[in-house]
Amino acid sequence: MSPSVRNIIAWILQALLAAFFIYGGSKKLLNLDGTMTMFGQLGLPGWFGGFIGVAELLGGIGLLIPRTVRLAAIGLIIIMLGAVFMHATKIPGGLANGVPAIVSLVLLVVVLVLRSRTEVRSV
């Protein structure tokens, strides 16, 4: 794949994922009481819901900044691994309701691969 095609695909995925996570994080923060209650019902501390909301919002923004893309993708991958685990083990409906988390996890890994440094640097 040529570098320009790789770059275009990466930017498209980054923009879509950024919108997804900015929306999701904002939604969690705008309904913080409900988010904290939901996390508490899952056996997690309520404050963790606010933490995840902030992390998703900042991760979504980070996907749009070239210097922070890889760090943002790694952080969001960790969050999505947790989301997939929670869907598989505790959230009613199981993995069938966790499809958005699974798809975003896969797309984040693709972004991380596309944005990984592949050129060898000479010393």
Distance of CA 63 to the CA centre of its chain: 9
Is the per-residue pLDDT at 123 higher than 70?
no
- At 120 the pLDDT is 46
Q: Are 115 and 73 in contact (CB under 8 A)?
A: yes
Quick: pLDDT tens for 21-35: 999 999 999 999 999
What average pLDDT score do residues 99-117 get?
95
- At 1 the pLDDT is 78
Is the per-residue pLDDT at 83 higher than 90?
yes
What angle, rounded to 10 degrees, do the helices at 3-30 and 99-114 form? 140
Report which of residues 12 and 96 the model is more confident about. Answer: 12
pTM for this prediction = 0.91
How many domains are there within the chain? 1
Asked, for residue 36, whether it belongs to a domain, the answer is yes
Domain of residue 106 covers 3-114
The H or E element that residue 27 is part of is helix 3-30
Report which of residues 123 and 36 the model is more confident about. Answer: 36
Q: What is the residue type of 42? A: L
Cα–Cα distance, 96 to 35 (Å, whole number): 21
Is the per-residue pLDDT at 51 higher than 50?
yes
